[in-house]
Amino acid sequence: MAVERLTIEGVRNLQAGALSPGPVINWLHGENGAGKTSVLEAIHLVGRGRSFRAARPGSVIQHGAEQLRVVVKRQDGVVLGVERSPEGWRGRIGGRDSQRISEFAAALPLVLIEPDSHRLVDGGPDRRRQYLDWQLFHVEPDYLEAWQRYARLLKQRNAALKSGARDAMLDALEAPMLPAAERLDTLRRQQVSLLEITVRRLLETIGIRLPGEVQLAYRRGFPVDETLADALRAQRDSDRERGFTQRGPHRADLALKVDGHPAAVELSRGQQKLLALALLLAQLHHLDQHGSQAPLLLLDDPVSELDRRHLESVLGWLAEQRFQTWVTATEPPDIEARLFHVEQGAVRPQQ
């Protein structure tokens, strides 16, 4: 759902104020360090409950301020707001208190593309699991329940392993894990098949040429020739020694390949960034087509990450979509957009 009004107070170097963005492309331009990315960070705080630039929430709060406050009014009139201080945070959605990040995520779905997005390709499997889980959270209504159930049972099994629990106790804990794990695997596998089709289509549409055909495959986190029940039983002694569960959907991965070779090895850093771009745009497309709310795109500094041909293709594609996009750059664009100039923390609209 597009943002109709954005109010920011106490975020990094940004001056307190409110913005009225346009429904399609909003372009924040200004010198490096002016505060452009901090505007995206403020939106991210509402939609994801955390910063994408800092591990410590307190570091986002402006020097000298006791707290930060960000309020988003959606196009349909629903208002979401968060306040964060070094001691904690509070939030409101539609006039009621909420401390559940999942509610904010559902109310303001967003996709972030920033200079470190290539880690989706060359980083660890946790990033790719998060990518899949985020996708499914928005497009499959029962996914969150299955994931929460599995995570809760996994935590109980890990606690039992650390205490040296006997096999009978582990049998009792593992039995309800199996249907939850099966549901996660089924939904993830289906989603990966759909994403592969969309990624290939977007690569062609945007004109991204990689050295071979891109393949996506779901690796479920335990051997393909075993059931999860067998895998858990086979690993019990080793799991007890380590104190945690080594196999299962929580160890799954999204395998990215180009002509059968690992993308992280086969592709240059620049090509990895292009593949990550296609993956995230594919996610955006699926959220837009199948989610309950139209998503937002936060696109940080694409001018420095993409060559002119790819940048023009991406911006042309975005201009044709129905979702709202926020872009940061050092210069104003050559396309139609709502312009905001950012200088020393002051964000001012331009005609």
Residue ranges per structural domain of the chain: 1-109+293-351, 119-290
Burial class of 103 by CB neighbour count within 10 A (0 to 12, 13 to 18, 19+): middle
Burial 171-180 (b: 16+ CB within 10 A, else e): eebbeebbeb
What distance in Å separates the CA atoms of residue 239 and residue 206, rounded to the nearest whole number? 46
- Neighbour-count burial for 299-334, b at 16+ CB within 10 Å, e otherwise: bbbbeebbeeebbeebbeebeebebbbbbbbeeeee
Residue type present at position 170: L
Do the domains spanning 1-109+293-351 and 119-290 agree at the CATH topology level? no
pLDDT above 80 for 34: yes
Q: Determine whether the annotation assigns residue 33 to a binding site.
A: yes
- Judge contact between 45 and 70, C-beta under 8 A: yes
pLDDT > 70: percent of the chain: 100
Is the confidence at residue 351, as pLDDT, over 80?
no
31 is in an annotated binding site: yes
How much of the chain, in percent, has pLDDT values that exceed 90? 83
**What's the pTM?**
0.93
On whether 34 is known to bind a ligand per the annotation, the reply is yes
The Cα angle at residue 280 between residues 83 and 326, in degrees rounded to 5: 50
- For the domain spanning 1-109+293-351, the CATH number is 3.40.50.300
Query: Looking at the DSSP assignment, which residues form a beta bridge with residue 80?
Result: 72, 93
State residue 141's pLDDT score.
86
pLDDT digit string, tens, across residues 217-257: 999 999 999 999 999 999 999 999 999 999 999 999 999 99
Please name the fold of domain 119-290: Glutathione S-transferase Yfyf (Class Pi); Chain A, domain 2 (1.20.1050)
DSSP state of 61: B
User: 30: annotated binding-site residue?
Assistant: yes
32 belongs to an annotated ligand binding site: yes
pLDDT for the residue 64: 87
Cross-strand partners of 71: 7, 81
In this predicted structure, the answer to whether residue 37 has a pLDDT above a threshold of 80 is yes
Q: Is 36 annotated as a binding residue?
A: yes
Residue-wise pLDDT for 72-94, tens only, equals 999 999 999 999 988 888 999 99
CB 217 within 8 A of CB 255: yes
Whole-Å CA distances, 90 to 52, 64, 100, 235: 19, 20, 10, 42
